[in-house]
């Protein structure tokens, strides 16, 4: 998990039970350096993680069906276009044509709610 900046704001994303281990993602939108970008959150081995929905190979969205990112093993996030594989807990490239890792977004989970955290890079589409 990325450590939030001290001045970051927690933005409610979804209920904890909407994210099942190696299951479907929850999509959300952020401003990344002021530009609207799609993002997604998943749960892997009990922990929640979020990334921009943008492959490091070619900047395309990665899901092969809406909100489906995990491969059949449930251990890798796979890009539908050319098969790049990323580690769900770090976003690092594991294999395939990726050029670096996924862009990680800080999350927290408190009292059954998952929040994403604003930073210098990430701001909400709408003010919280």
* 96 near ligand FES, judged by CB under 6 A: yes
Q: Which of 39, 45, 48 is nearest to 19 (CA)?
A: 48
Binding track, positions 4-43, relative to ligand FES; x by CB under 6 A: ----------------------------------------
**How many C-alpha atoms does 43 have within 13 Å on its Cβ side?**
17
* 82 near ligand FES, judged by CB under 6 A: yes
* Residue selected from 39, 41, 42, 84 as contacting ligand FES according to rule CB under 6 A: 84
Q: Which is nearer to ligand FES, 12 or 58 (CB)?
A: 58
Pair of tokens at residue 74? 């449930």
Cβ at position 53, least distance to ligand FES in Å: 11
CB 95 within 8 A of CB 77: no
Which position has the token pair 């490091």? Answer: 56
């Amino acid at each position: 998990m990325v450590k939030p900046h001290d001045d970051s704001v927690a933005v409610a994303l979804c209920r904890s039970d909407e994210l099942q281990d190696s299951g479907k993602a929850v999509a959300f939108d952020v401003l990344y350096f002021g530009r609207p970008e799609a993002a997604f959150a998943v749960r892997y081995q009990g922990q929640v993680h979020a990334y921009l929905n943008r492959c490091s190979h070619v900047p395309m969205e990665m899901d092969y069906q809406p909100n489906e990112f995990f491969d059949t093993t449930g251990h890798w996030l796979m890009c539908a276009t050319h098969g790049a594989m990323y580690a769900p807990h770090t976003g690092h490239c594991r294999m395939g044509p990726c050029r670096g890792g996924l862009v990680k977004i800080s999350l927290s989970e408190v009292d059954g709610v998952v929040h994403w955290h604003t930073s210098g890079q990430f701001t909400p589409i709408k003010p919280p």
